């Protein structure tokens, strides 16, 4: 593992305007070329968090994915965020992990926010994703997943002699009335999982008149902030130190006392 440069791209997503969002976020990511390894965009960054799925869904071979692939290839960065994706007769809130070589991994948001009726318009995922970048194992999640620690739990793989992951990444559209929960739960997930944790939220007001205060953050394994963003558009890059993480896990091996369990479908 080498030090990992992670950029928090906290933007004001344009409502239901994919072309405007491609231009907007493309400009922010292009400015990071040569200065970062990973650019993290908010949840549903091409549309805003919408239940109007039919008019805003992307096909996996559609313009949005082609643009994201070109963006990663052009900048040499891994770029991630979630999109509304149409798959057959269903839609999913899909995080795409796009690599500079044009390949990608994907994760469909498992926990659907029923208070906004997301569960009525989207299908939930069933497979957790762990990806690798520069020797780091990274577990990307989407917004409401943050509230479910069993799904996210970091375990020690005795056979492989390694943890499930070293970095948790959350992409979100988390409204400001619940900002305290956002900040508190991100810290809890970092501490309990002995992991770095990055949460990237949007700012501004969406088409449902919901305000977003950003509060994007990069946390160390103690839940201490390495960088905290405000309520305006910001792009900040932080470098994560693998040696500090390894030393903490050695010094404070709480994982050795963790309860064993198996996740069901």
43 counts as catalytic = yes
Q: What are phi and psi of 86, to 5 degrees?
A: -95, 130
143 counts as catalytic = yes
Q: Which is the catalytic residue, given 91, 139, 143, 197? A: 143
Please classify residue 64 by burial: count the beta carbons closer than 10 Å to its beta carbon, then call 0-12 exposed, 13-18 middle and 19+ buried.
buried
- Tell me, letter by letter, the H, E, C secondary structure of the chain: CCCEEEEEEECCCCCCCHHHHHHHHHHHHHCCCCCCCEEECCCCCCCCCCCCHHHHCECCCCHHHHHHHHHHHHHCCEEEEEEEEEECCEEEEEEEEECCCCCEEEEECCCCCHHHCHHHHCCCCCCCCCEEECCEEEEEEEHHHHHCHHHHCCCEECCCCEECCCEEEEECCCCHHHHHHHHHHHHHHHHHCCCEEEEECCEEECCCCCEEECCCEEECCCCCEEEECCCCCEEEEEEECHHHHHHHHHHCCHHHHCCCCCCCC
For residues 45 and 21, the answer to whether their CB atoms sit within 8 Å is yes
Q: Which is the catalytic residue, given 91, 109, 139, 197? A: 109
117 counts as catalytic = no
Q: Which is the catalytic residue, given 43, 58, 91, 197? A: 43
Find tokens 């690798």 and name the residue.
Answer: 132
- The residues assigned a catalytic role are 43, 109, 143
């Amino acid at each position: 593992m080498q030090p990992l440069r992670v950029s928090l791209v906290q933007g004001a997503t344009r409502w239901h305007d994919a072309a405007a969002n491609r231009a907007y976020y493309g400009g922010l990511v292009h400015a990071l070329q040569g200065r970062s390894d990973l650019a993290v965009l908010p949840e549903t960054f091409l549309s805003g968090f919408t239940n109007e799925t039919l008019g805003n869904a992307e096909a996996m071979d559609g313009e949005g994915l082609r643009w994201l692939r070109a963006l990663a290839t052009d900048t040499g960065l891994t770029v991630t965020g979630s999109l509304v994706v149409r798959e057959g007769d269903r839609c999913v809130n899909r995080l795409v992990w796009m690599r500079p070589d044009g390949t990608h991994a994907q994760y469909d948001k498992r926990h659907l926010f029923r208070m906004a009726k997301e569960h009525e318009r989207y299908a939930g995922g069933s497979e957790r994703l762990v990806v690798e970048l520069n020797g780091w194992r990274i577990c990307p999640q989407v917004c409401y997943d943050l509230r479910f620690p069993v799904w996210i739990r970091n375990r020690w793989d005795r056979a492989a002699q390694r943890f499930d992951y070293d970095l948790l990444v959350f992409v979100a559209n988390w409204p400001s009335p619940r900002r305290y929960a956002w900040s508190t739960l991100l810290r809890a997930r970092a501490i309990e999982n002995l992991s770095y944790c990055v949460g990237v939220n949007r700012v501004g007001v969406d088409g449902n008149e919901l305000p977003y205060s950003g509060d994007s953050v990069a946390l160390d394994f103690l839940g201490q902030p390495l960088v905290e963003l405000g309520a305006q558009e910001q792009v900040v890059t932080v470098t994560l130190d693998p040696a500090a993480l390894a030393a903490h896990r050695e010094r404070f091996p709480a994982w050795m006392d963790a309860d064993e369990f198996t996740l069901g479908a």
